[in-house]
Amino acid sequence: MIIRKYLLVLALMLSFGTILSAKESPAAKGLRLAKELEVANRGFVGESSEMEMILIDAYKSKTVRQMTGKTMETKSDGDKSLMVFQNPKDVKGTKMLTHTHKKGDDDQWLFLPSLRRVKRISSRSKTSSFMGSEFSYEDLGSQEIDKYHFKWIKNIKSKKGDTHYILERRPKQKSGYSKMLMTISKKMMSAIKIDYYDRKGDLLKTGVFGNFKQYKVGDKKIYRASLIEMKNIQTKKASVFTWKSRKLGVKHRSRDFNKKSLK
């Protein structure tokens, strides 16, 4: 009888130990959720949009710029995107071309009509401000999961009952950030907030994503934010991206994203 009890206790202990060892680590869970996020947002084919960017300085003065944009999804590598400034006159005709890559640095070029030349954005300039905004060239580049280490921090419930995943994302390669804390909506499988920390580990800026709309591409439903507000905590400046119109499922030509097409 004593032997049976001992064996039963031993079996329970071994079973409990197996459960503990099989428990998902924060790093594994973070990576799994990041992959689920990627899959949920994949398959949009291409995008065309009209946007507005408002630059707000520390004294609340505003500068408004209008742009058009298009993005082409690729299967073998990262996406390609082209942004063209329409107004005001001092930036009209400026074009930003980005070829993102799953591994290695992204390729980015800026066409400046006043100089009639194409400027390549070097890896050192990725952390610089994009056209005077609080968005950096790095922010407009690749968010491929292979370029980051992920860690699940916790889950929280929103007031509307949605589950929000809090993930830590740390760049594997050179970056202007030491880490990012992402708040992801389980319902929309999209980031609704990102806190960006500078290389010293201090909070630099916060991006809030809102006005989400659902798009249907084939049998798939994809959520996209129609507004992104980037607030610089250290300088008190802000930039707001607003999508005036957007279409997903658009088929673009590869040649439209060629460096030669910038001029």
CA–CA separation, 19 vs 7, rounded Å? 18
Q: Average pLDDT for residues 229-243, to the nearest whole number? A: 98
Q: Could you give the maximum distance between any two Cα atoms of the chain, in Å? A: 92
Q: State the pLDDT at residue 19.
A: 46
For the beta carbon of residue 134, count every other beta carbon within 10 angstroms: 23
Q: Average pLDDT for residues 201-220, to the nearest whole number? A: 97
CA–CA separation, 249 vs 47, rounded Å? 6
Q: How far is CA 76 from the centre of its chain?
A: 19
CA–CA separation, 233 vs 205, rounded Å? 5
Question: pLDDT category, 104, cuts 50, 70, 90?
Answer: confident
Q: By the 8 A CB rule, do 136 and 129 touch?
A: yes
Q: Cis link prior to 88 (omega < 30° from 0)? A: yes
Question: pLDDT category, 21, cuts 50, 70, 90?
Answer: very low
Q: State the pLDDT at residue 142.
A: 73
Q: By the 8 A CB rule, do 178 and 45 touch?
A: no
Q: What is the percent of the chain where pLDDT is above 70?
A: 92
Q: What phi and psi, each to the nearest 5 degrees, are found at residue 98?
A: -130, 130
Mean pLDDT of the chain: 91
Q: State the pLDDT at residue 3.
A: 53
CA–CA separation, 244 vs 52, rounded Å? 7
pTM (2 d.p.): 0.88
User: What is the three-state SS of 231-252?
Assistant: EECCCCCEEEEEEEEEEECCCC
Q: Average pLDDT for residues 92-101, to the nearest whole number? A: 94
Strand pairing report for 203-217 and 117-120: unpaired
Q: Which domains does the chain have, with CATH numbers?
A: 32-262 (2.50.20.10)
CA–CA separation, 171 vs 143, rounded Å? 10
Q: Which ranges constitute the DSSP H helices of the chain?
A: 2-22, 26-40
pLDDT at 1 over 70: no
Q: Average pLDDT for residues 155-163, to the nearest whole number? A: 94
CA–CA separation, 40 vs 46, rounded Å? 15
Which residue type does 208 have? V
Q: What is the percent of the chain where pLDDT is above 90?
A: 79
pLDDT at 262 over 90: no
Q: Poorest-confidence range of 43-57, 80-94, 101-115, 195-209?
A: 101-115
Closest C-alpha to 67, from 47, 88, 42: 88
Q: State the pLDDT at residue 89.
A: 93
- Whose tokens are 């129609």? That residue is 226
